[in-house]
Amino acid sequence: MRHFLAAALAAAGLLEPGVSLSADYSLVIHGGAGAMPRAEMTAARERDVRAALEESLKAGQAILSAGGSALDAVSASVVVLEDSPYFNAGKGAVLTHEGRNELDASIMDGATLRAGAVAGVRRVRNPIVLARAVMEKSPHVMLTGKGAEEFARGIGIRLVEPGYFRTEERWQQLQDELGKAAARTQAQAEATDAPSYLGTVGAVARDRKGGLAAATSTGGMTNKRWGRVGDSPIIGAGTYANAHCAVSATGWGEFYIRAAVAHDICARVAYRGDSIRAASEEVVLRVVPKLGGDGGVIALGRDGEFSMPFNTAGMYRGWIDAEGQRRTDIYPDGSSR
Ligand code: ASP
C-alpha cells in the first residue's frame, strides 16, 4: 500500500524522488515558541518563515532517507535554521543588553548518551557545529565564551565577525525592550518582567536504525545581561535524548531549567511508560505553567510518535508526516493561513 501510494504521489509530482514514504524515520523541527502574534504576521513573512522551515526539513530528510544518522540529521536541520535570519539562532539571533550576540547550543545522541554544548559564543557561525565538536573532539560536555572559541579556532570551525549575526529587526527589538525597561520602575520591572523570547531553533530525529537525537540552538533572550544562559545549552533542560525519547525545548529558559523539562519528559516515558504526548503535555502545559513559565517542546519517541505542545500564541514548527511529506505550521492546530 505504502509503495503504491509512493508511486502514485511520485507520478503526480507530489513526492520527490528518493524520499521514502516512511514510518521508518522521523524528523520534527521547531523555530521557537513565542511566534510573532498573528495580527502582526504578514502573508509574505509567513511564506518566508515556512520556506526556511521547509529547507530545514529537507536537509534533515535527505540524510535520514539515505540511511544517515539521527545525529547528522538534527545537525543539518539546525544549521539551516541558524543560517536563516528569521529565527533566534545564528544569523538573526536576539541581542544582549549591550547590543551583542551571545549564542548557546547543545546536541545529544540518544544511542550513546553522548552530548555537547556551548554557551555565550560570539563569533561561531554555527554554534550547533561547535556543540557537536565539543561532544566528538573534546573530553568535555560544555564549553563557554572565549574558551569555546579558542577550541573552535583550534579545530578549524568557521568563525565570523560578530556583525554577521546582527539584523536591523533584532536591533529594533532591543531598542523597544530598552525603552520599555526605562519606562518602568524597578518594582514594576520585577513584577511584570515577562521576557521576550522568539525563535530558538531545534530538531529531533529518529533514523532507520531506531537511533534518536536532539539539537537546540539560540541567541537566548533579548536584553539579557551578565552572561545569562538559558535552558537551550543545558543537557536535560533544553535538550535531551536517550533510547526512548528525544526532546528540544523553547521557552522561558529559567523555568525550563528549573523543571529540567527535556529530561523530565524522557524520564516519564522511560520510567512510567507514559506516551510521548502525555509526558510532553504534562510538563509543558502543567508543570512549567505552575511555576510561572511558558514555552513549548518537540518530543519524539522510538516508535516515531511525536508531539509538539506549546502554551504560547504560536510555535514555528515542521515535521514529516506518515506519508513522508514535509509539513509546517505556526499557530495552534493548523490554523495558520
Ligand atoms: N529557551 C531560550 C532561552 O531561554 C529562549 C527561547 O526558547 O526562545 O534562552
In this predicted model, what pLDDT tens digit does every residue of 269-296 receive, in sequence order? 999 999 999 999 999 999 999 999 999 9
142, pLDDT greater than 90: yes
The count of C-alpha atoms lying within 13 angstroms of the C-alpha of 293, restricted to the half-sphere facing its C-beta, is 24
Average pLDDT over every residue of 16-45: 77
Confidence (pLDDT) at 176: 87
Of the residues 96, 112, 167, 200, only one is catalytic, namely 200
At 130, the pLDDT band (50, 70, 90 cuts) reads: very high
In three-state secondary structure terms, 319 is strand
Return d(Cα 183, Cα 168) in angstroms, integer: 23
Cell of 168: 536591523
pLDDT band at 136, cuts 50/70/90? very high
Residues 7, 270: Cα–Cα separation, whole Å? 38
- Please tell me the residue having the least CA distance from ligand 1 atom 4: 253
- Residue 197 pLDDT: 54
Which atom of ligand 1 sits closest to the CA of residue 34? 8
Q: What is the pLDDT of residue 185?
A: 58
Which is more confidently placed, 156 or 337?
156
Residue 224 has a CB neighbour count (10 Å cut-off) of 22
Q: Which residues line ligand 1 (CB under 6 A)?
A: 32, 88, 197, 200, 218, 220-221, 230-232, 250-251, 253, 256, 295
Would residue 112 show up in a list of annotated catalytic residues for this protein?
Answer: no
Q: Is the pLDDT of residue 1 over 80?
A: no
Residue nearest to atom 9 of ligand 1 (CA): 220
Angle between helix axes 70-83 and 43-65 (nearest 10 degrees) is 160
Mean pLDDT to the nearest integer, 225-244? 97
Burial of 29 (0-12, 13-18, 19+ CB in 10 A): buried
Range name among 8-17, 167-176, 232-241 with the lowest pLDDT average? 8-17
Cβ atoms of residues 152 and 130 within 8 Å = yes
Q: Is the pLDDT of residue 220 over 70?
A: yes
Q: Does 191 have pLDDT greater than 50?
A: no
Query: What is the average per-residue pLDDT within 322-331?
Result: 94
> For residue 192, how far is the Cα from the chain centroid?
26
In 110-269, the DSSP E strands lie at: 114-121, 142-144, 201-206, 212-218, 239-241, 245-251
pLDDT computed for residue 330 by the predictor? 94
Q: Kindly list the strands in the beta sheet with 245-251, ordered across the sheet, starting from the edge strand earlier in the chain.
A: 239-241, 245-251, 295-301, 306-307
Structure confidence at residue 15 as a pLDDT band (50, 70, 90): very low
Residue 187 pLDDT exceeds 60: no
Report the distance separating Cα 113 and Cα 130, nearest Å. Answer: 18
- CA of 200 relative to ligand 1 center, distance in Å: 6
**Cell, residue 249:** 525545548
Asked whether 246 and 240 are in contact (CB, 8 A), the reply is yes
Between the ranges 7-11, 16-20, 88-92, where is the mean pLDDT highest? 88-92
Mean pLDDT rounded to a whole number for the chain: 90
Q: Residue 222's pLDDT is what?
A: 92
> Taking Cα atoms as reference points, which of 233, 32, 24, 276 lies closest to residue 144?
233
Chain position carrying cell 522568539:
198
